Every structure is written in structure tokens, then in C-alpha cells.
Amino acid sequence: MSQIESDELRSLQDAAAGGNPAAQVTLGLAHELGHGVARDPLYAGFLYRQAALAGEPRGQFALGQLYEFGIGTEPSIDTALPWYSLAAAQGHREACRRLGQHPAGSPTAICAQVPPSTTERPPVETADIGIGQHQRQ
């Protein structure tokens, strides 16, 4: 994602505010990386959490990564694994891979049947910014 056009950004913000989980993940990624918008990992985490709670596997995976790598919070694989498990149960290939990389992780049987995907988000980099309850005005 490069620069986001202002009309496209407004539409994305409106959709995310309206509870669209796909828009929440897309806007979250833009804020996490600072692509076309101000870099704001806190707000990204807030958006990912909203999408994750709505059952969006990409949001569940993204939130797991924030917890695993400590972006906006203390790193905690114990907090990340349940989010990865939820995403894996819906066929998210990268979540299956992350589960299999940790001794405490337990890839579900569905992971063996999940085909590779090119649409999942790339891993995030570690940052030392706090995540929490974040409200965007």
C-alpha cells in the first residue's frame, strides 16, 4: 500500500467506523506502517482488535503479531497464541505457521488442510509503542 488518496481514505475510515472488519484491518495496517496516513501503532491495534472481535481472521492474526512482537504492549506469546489459534481455525496459513513455531502453540488439524495464500499480511517489525484502549477522534 503506498499513498492513500483522500477520497479512498475517507471511504475506508467511514467503513471502519461503521464496523466493517475488512476496512478495519486495511486501515489498521496503513496506520501500523504509516502508509498514506500518520504512523500510529496504537490506533492500528485498536482497529485490529475491533476486526478480531468481529471474527475477521486477518484482524486476529495482526493482533496476535502485535502481542507477540510487543508493538504497543509488552511482548507476550501467551497473549498472541489464542489470537493465532482463532485465525488458524478459519484457515489463516501464516497463523498456522506461527502456532507451529512456538512450543506452547498447537496448530489445529485444519492447518494441514489450509492452502498457501498470497493475500495475508506480512509480518510486522518490533516497536516499543503502547497499545491499549485507543479512541480516534
pLDDT classification of 124: cutoffs 50, 70, 90? very low
Please choose, from the candidates 99, 38, 36, 43, the residue with its C-alpha nearest in 3D space to the C-alpha of residue 71. Answer: 43
Q: Which class does domain 6-113 fall in? A: mainly alpha
Largest CA distance in the chain: 45
β-partners of residue 130 are 72
10-64: pLDDT as tens digits: 999 999 999 999 999 999 999 999 988 999 999 999 999 999 999 999 999 999 9
* pLDDT (tens digit per residue) in 88-102: 999 899 999 999 887
* Angstrom distances, CA of residue 16 to CA of 26, 35, 49, 108: 9, 16, 12, 30
What is the DSSP code (8-state) at residue 130?
B
Distance CA 15, CA 19 (A): 6
Distance (Å, whole) CA 28 – CA 45 = 7
Band (pLDDT 50/70/90 cuts) for residue 125 is very low
Helical spans, DSSP H, in 34-135: 41-53, 57-69, 77-89, 93-100
Q: Are 19 and 108 in contact (CB under 8 A)?
A: no
Residue closest to 85 by CA, chosen among 57, 66, 48 = 57
